[in-house]
Amino acid sequence: MSLALIVMLPFLGAVLPALMIRAGRNACAIATGTVTLLALGLLFTHAPAVFRGEVVQAGWNWLPELGLNVNFFLDGLGLLFAGLILGIGLLIITYARFYLAKEDPMGNFYTYLLLFQGAMVGIVLSDNILLLLIFWELTSLSSFLLIGYWKHLPEGRQGARMALAVTGGGGLAMIAGMLILGHIVGSYDLTIILAHGDEIQASPLYVPALILILIGCFTKSAQFPFHFWLPHAMAAPTPVSAYLHSATMVKAGIFLLARLWPALAGTDWWFYLVATTGLATMVIAAGIALFKDDLKGLLAFSTVSHLGLVTFLFGLATPMAAVAGVFHIINHATFKAALFMNTGIIDHETGTRDIKRLGGLMFLMPLSATLAMIAAASMAGLPLLNGFLSKEMMLDEAWKASWLGQGWVIPLFATLGAVFSVAYSFRYIVHVYLGPKRDDYPSKPHDPPMGMSLPPMLLVVLVVAIGLFPETIAGPLVRVTAGAVIGGPVPDFHLSIWHGFTPALFMSIAAVALGLFALWRYTAVRAIWQAGPHPEAKAMFQASVAALVRFSQVTMLGLHNGSLQRYVAFAIGGTVLIGFVTFFTHSHGEGTREAIAVTPVALVGWLLLVGCCIATVCMHRRRMLALVAVGVVGLMVSVGFLYFSAPDLALTQISVEVVTVILILLALYFIPKETPRESGGGRKLRDGLVAALGGIGVTGLTWAVLSRDYESLSSYYLNQSVPGGGGTNVVNVILVDFRGFDTFGEIIVLGIAALAIFALLDGLMRGELGGKLSSWYPDMPLSADRHPLIMVVATRIMLPLAMMVAAYIFLRGHNSPGGGFIAGLVASIALLLQYMASGYAWAAQRMRIDYHAMIGVGVLIAAATGIGAMVMDYPFLTSTFTYLHWPVVGKFEIASAIAFDVGVFLTVVGAVMLMLANLSRLGRRVGKQPVNVEPMDIDPSRLTNAGSREN
């Protein structure tokens, strides 16, 4: 389980920076670094096993029916990426401590960083593609927070939105591709998918799955034509840029290409889609980088170019290309993180990143200059540095490849990309650090504190060490990682500086020479570049987004115009259309079950039900009469439940009906008693036609179901109710045991609805709306006797009796019709009658119950019942029961489900009373003019008997 702990540590530790920032910036940074260091230490404990060729696995089945398992595995590829994420992350945490200004909220920064770090580690260690997708989307969300960290900057907010839109859209495509991939194999576990590469590539769904997955990979790794979002993410603080561009965010797509290499690579589709995209990205981005004057912009496009290089290598789909790709991932992470940190140092110490305002810094910042020159030389691919080795391997693989049968295409463009790489790398060195010192720097340059210099220094040491001793330092890691990528034997190779006079060496020499020549003649080369066309990807993206927004507005305003009738018409009309098209385009036969004879009682009930439904439609303008008709409809439904031997449902329906009618009755007090007349007959004809077709469709569907034999779960519940749940009332046992989780969710929703209504009504009683309510009078005369004595006496006598009935219904619910829900409704009705009979003030004074707390206590009791089952190593909300022998009473059953029912009871009572009592409280405000509130215009003729109102 330590693999799961490695993933969870950054998430769990994300709360520490927010807390430790109160102890100071150093304490905050140390706490954050400790979390990452612990995760890195746990990772290294598995390194020996991975280097022995073992695959470390851990996890558990969560929802096996859906294929969603929380499984993790660690092989060479996972070890490399997790090591880069946590190792460079530790350096970034140290660097950020000295980079961020005092006014920057450091606690927020480190919290976002740990959330992002955990999501990235989750991606590289996931052994289930559904779990991987969850972490994949978390990286998009957490990177949005990091890129937009300086939210006071418009470019920061815009860059964050652009990154989220592009990578999130690609993520949606990848979700579809991954689901198809899991469908082909029949499993969503990565280790199983990787073992079925031949089956996947033989499937007709291979191509659509491949394209969708590649869209996700290309958007995340900023491959052409999705490359434009990455440079705009440079608005983030430099530590974020260094982290995202060297080891994390943009490497996620590269990682997935490597991870799925055994299952998807080796076909023409893979070669032409992946290799071509990578090669085009490498050349285009390198060319753009050469002419960027902002240092971070230069490095951003250089990152895109190097990501294209690795994508190109994986696209070639040869074992040695995979080895070269793995090696370059390591090398790029070291020199690119060092260069981004160096750019942050320049910006921090000089006050600018504009190359035109820099130069001559070598004499003012000697340490930073030395580190930057080594890292940039490695990026250019000069000998004795690690970048040279992987660049030579890339050129060698490019020399052997052909595109559409043409052997010169790939070597030419690969060399051209290397030329641009040399040119922009040396531009970073020459135009920033060499040349004469200037006297117009925005700030006086000097080397930064050691806290900012130490992280890039460690990385530069690796750049040199790997370049000089590649086989010793990087060889074992490259072999074990390449073995995981290839999924088979690793080709024999030896990492060394000299491989003889090879075509790759001459291509490299040509690249260096042409790159230096381009820098020497930079002014002329830049003039040629500026004379050509420059399609602006940002402008194209913004225009596309604006067009989509306009289209959405037109569509939404056309469909969602505020008319409930239109919404219902679309919903029912669409359903009817689909149903009738399906019916008339498929064959069907008559049912096999015989119809039950209609009894006179059933016929009378049916006629009454239909008559009240028609009356509701015809009298809907007169709201009070319509409410009475609706109440009769609910009563007849209850009778129908009784007729079909469902007393539990009948009791529930009657209780709900009473509460609903009272709720609507109270609401009607605040609205006109009659609705305005509808529009013309055409609209009525439309609505009537839709309703008639919908009724015909539902009737036909009901007839089709009831007239055919089918298997039902009812037999299982009937057979298992007593032995499994300990109760003879099958309905109650289902609610509190077999499907207790559904009931638990329903009471939570009920509580949330009650709180929402309370908040709405509470807001209505405040401010301007409260003033208008206080100055409003009903449009009909009110009785002088607001609280009839007979009703007052009757309700007070009925209260204890009703509570006794509620207790009886509650206690018998497990074995007879009843239960916590029905008992809660009965108790609510009894309490509500006190408000109706005696007024809000009288009832509220005597029933000092906090209904908010009652809802909370009810939900907590229900949750505690389920957690108690988990403590006993049973599934959540599993109930148990036993039988006791009591004196006089005799044999008596005790079930743990009664505690769950108590929670249901309290939640129902609290929710109903919170809603209805607050409607009563709202009515109490009517006609009570507050101070300094301008009353509404009132017709004096409507104030009959106004002086008799009370409460």
For residue 219, what are its two tokens? 């958007």
Taking every pair of Cα atoms in the chain, the longest distance, rounded to a whole number of angstroms, is 111
Q: Which two tokens stand for residue 295?
A: 């240092």
The better pLDDT of the pair 939, 521 is held by 521
Q: For 818-866, write each residue's pLDDT tens digit.
A: 888 888 888 888 888 887 788 777 877 777 788 888 999 999 998 888 8
Q: Annotate 463-492 with three-state secondary structure.
A: HHHHHHCHHHHCHHHHHHHHHHHHCCCCCC
Q: What is the pTM of this model?
A: 0.70
pLDDT at 600: 86
User: Under a CB-based contact definition with an 8 Å cutoff, are residues 7 and 118 in contact?
Assistant: yes
Mean pLDDT check: name the lowest of 120-129, 288-297, 702-711.
Answer: 702-711
SS3 513: helix
* Distance (Å) of CA 552 to CA 189, 542, 546: 38, 15, 10
Burial class of residue 664 (count of CB atoms within 10 Å of its CB; 0-12, 13-18, 19+): middle
Closest by CA to 745, choosing from 854, 869, 904, is: 904
Q: Which of 216, 226, 313, 214 is nearest to 264 (CA)?
A: 214
**CB neighbours (10 Å) of residue 621?**
13
Which tens digit of pLDDT belongs to each residue from 638-697? 888 888 888 888 888 888 888 888 878 777 777 777 777 766 777 778 788 888 888 888
> Quick one: residue 344, left, alpha or beta (phi over 0 = left, psi -120 to 50 = alpha)?
alpha
| Tokens matching residue 634 | 């609910």
Neighbours of 266 (CB within 10 A): 15
C-alpha of 122 from chain center: 15
> What is the C-alpha separation between 297 and 288, in angstroms, rounded?
9
Q: What is the mean pLDDT of the chain?
A: 84
pLDDT band at 206 (very low <50, low <70, confident <90, very high): very high
What is the distance between the terminal CA atoms of the chain, rounded to a whole angstrom? 63
Q: Reduced to 3 DSSP states, what percent helix, strand and coil does the chain have, rounded to the nearest 5?
A: 75, 5, 25
711: which 2 tokens? 């298997």
pLDDT in tens, 9-31: 999 998 999 888 888 888 999 99
720: how many CB neighbours lie within 10 A of its CB? Answer: 15
d(CA 615, CA 629): 7
Question: When comparing pLDDT for 409 and 737, which is higher?
Answer: 409
Q: What is the pLDDT of residue 457?
A: 93
Using CA of residue 600, residue 606, residue 611, residue 616, what is the dihedral sign?
A: positive
Mean pLDDT calculated for residue range 298-320:
91
Written as one string, the DSSP assignment of 620-644 is TTBHHHHHHHHHHHHHHHHHHHHHT
Measured CA to CA, the distance from residue 210 to residue 174 in angstroms comes to 9
Cβ(113)–Cβ(146) below 8 Å: yes
Span of 45-49, 144-148, 435-439, 884-888 with lowest mean pLDDT: 884-888
* Least confident stretch, 91-95, 332-336, 946-950: 946-950
Question: Could you tell me which residues come within 8 angstroms of residue 872 by beta carbon, excluding any fewer than 6 positions away?
Answer: none
Per-residue pLDDT at 950 exceeds 70: no
pLDDT grade for 1, boundaries at 50, 70 and 90: low
Please give the Cα distance from 303 to 332 (Å, whole number).
Answer: 9
HEC states along 641-658? Answer: HHHCCCHHHHHHHHHHHH
Q: How far is CA 900 from CA 530, 560, 769, 883, 918, in A?
A: 74, 42, 40, 18, 27
DSSP helix/strand/coil, 943:
coil
Q: At what angle do helices 537-559 and 154-185 cross, to 10 degrees?
A: 80
**Does residue 778 or residue 340 have the better pLDDT?**
340
Has residue 354 got a pLDDT over 80?
yes
Least Cα distance to 813 among 745, 731, 722, 744 occurs for: 731
pLDDT top residue among 416 and 62: 416
Q: So where are the chain's domains?
A: 320-520, 731-951
> pLDDT (tens digit, 9 = 90+) per residue, 536-556?
777 777 788 888 888 988 888
Q: What are phi and psi of 835, to 5 degrees?
A: -65, -40
| Whether pLDDT at 940 is above 50 | no
The CA distance from 683 to 687, in Å, is: 6
Inter-CA distances, 249 with 4, 81, 233, Å? 21, 11, 11
CB-based contacts of 793-802 (< 8 A; 24+ apart in sequence)? 794/837, 795/833, 795/834, 795/836, 795/837, 795/838, 796/834, 796/837, 796/838, 798/830, 798/833, 799/830, 799/831, 799/833, 799/834, 802/826, 802/827, 802/829, 802/830
Q: Which residues of 456-469 are buried (b: 16+ CB within 10 A; e: fewer)?
A: bbbbbebbbebbee
165-169, 308-312, 448-452, 920-924: range with lowest mean pLDDT: 920-924
> Which residue in 469, 302, 457, 460 sits closest to 384, CA to CA?
469
CA-CA-CA-CA torsion sign (790, 791, 792, 797): positive
Amino acid residing at 467: G
**Residue (of 202, 58, 212) closest to 128 by Cα position:** 58
363-400 core/surface letters (b: 16 or more CB in 10 A; e: else):
ebbeebbebbbbbbbbbbbbeebbbbbbbbbbbbbbbe
Placement of tokens 């910006």 in the chain: 347
Q: Flag whether pLDDT at 765 surpasses 70.
A: no
Tens of pLDDT, residue by residue over 592-601, are 788 888 888 8
Angstrom CA distances, 333 to 85, 223, 456, 623, 847, stand at: 10, 18, 11, 71, 68
**pLDDT category of residue 771 using cuts at 50, 70 and 90:** low
pLDDT for position 925: 53
Q: Please, which residues bridge with residue 403 across strands?
A: 406
What is the spatial distance between Cα 3 and Cα 55, in angstroms, rounded to a whole number? Answer: 12
Please state the rounded mean pLDDT for residues 194-220: 91
Distance CA 739, CA 724 (A): 13
- DSSP states of 292-355 as a string? --BHHHHHHHHHHHHHHHHHHHHHH--HHHHHHHHHHHHHHHHHHHHHHHHHHHHHHHHS--BG
CA distance 94 to 32: 9
- Residues above pLDDT 90, as percent of the chain: 26
Give the best-scoring range by mean pLDDT among 154-163, 240-249, 606-615, 619-628.
606-615
Q: Which of 149-163, 305-319, 744-758 has the lowest mean pLDDT?
A: 149-163
Q: Which residues pair with 891 in a beta bridge?
A: 885
Q: Are 466 and 331 in contact (CB under 8 A)?
A: yes
User: Is residue 33 within 8 Å of 94, Cβ to Cβ?
Assistant: yes
